[in-house]
Amino acid sequence: MLLAIDIGNTNIVLGVFEGTALGRNWRLATARERTADELGLMVSDLLERAKIALPAIDGVVLASVVPQLTGPMIEMSTRYLGLTPLNVEPGIDLGMPNLYAHPSEVGADRLVNGIAAFEAYGRGRGEPLVVLDFGTATTFDAISATGEYLGGVICPGIQISADALFQRAARLPRIDVRKPAHVIGRTTVTSMQSGLFFGYVGMVEGLVHRLREELGGKAFCVATGGLAEVIAPETNVVDAVDRDLTLQGLRIVWERNRA
């Protein structure tokens, strides 16, 4: 069994693979101050509740965009699982050419998303891909028809935008991001919800359209992340939603490097 760990700014997502099949998976809040022991107890408890014995895990792969947690997570794996994890970082074999001007600047999650999307939706299709990830930041990544990572777009996440409105405008309340019944808001809260939700949908549509133009007029769009299943039904620019894309990408990278 393979334990895949995606450490994001808002959530830590863990998944256990048996072969290529994703079995159990969990989404936990990211707490930057967690120690290796806290992480070890957390992972041990999750596996025990899923009736997975610790010795059954024979590989660990992780991608992290939170440097404060990368070291503790590696230490946790070594001490509690007896395994040195494969950390997706510059220098390992991804099996995907990285054409970024400074390749080391690309987040590990963006790369593994691109790898998984190309294998699941791009290989043999003959057209480029746009990979859309709704996380703390919303990222758009462009993958060529031959499987090269080209670059992309980084935008503030929708919750960051909502928090900024509350913090910077004295008379605006803090709100939950949700789809309102109408575009025209009749209260301050519904007006803010309309601007955030439908404004975000419009941003997604505009950027995907521009990316497709730059990629030759056509590209298959895959969405993942917490809000993918909420935003995707509101637009026709998203061709597929894959909530497990990052974990699948980690599995693929592990298989390419397990020797």
Q: For residue 221, how many other CB atoms are within 10 A of its CB?
A: 23
Please tell me which residue in 6, 37, 109, 133 is annotated as part of the active site: 109
Q: How far is 220 from 201, CA to CA, in rounded Å?
A: 18
Is 53 in a helix, a strand, or coil?
coil
Q: For residue 17, how many other CB atoms are within 10 A of its CB?
A: 22
Q: What are 140's two structure tokens?
A: 């758009």
109 is an active site residue: yes
Quote the crossing angle between the two packed helices 245-257 and 108-117, to the nearest 10°.
Answer: 90
Between CA 220 and CA 225, with CA 221 as vertex, the angle to 5 degrees is: 150
Q: State the DSSP code for 54.
A: G
- HSE at residue 69, side-chain half, CA atoms within 13 A, is 22
Q: Which residues contact 247 (CB under 8 A, 6 or more apart)?
A: 4, 6, 13, 15, 17, 22, 25
Q: For residue 216, how many other CB atoms are within 10 A of its CB?
A: 11
Q: What is the dihedral of CA 117, 119, 121, 124, to 10 degrees?
A: 140
Residues forming the active site: 109
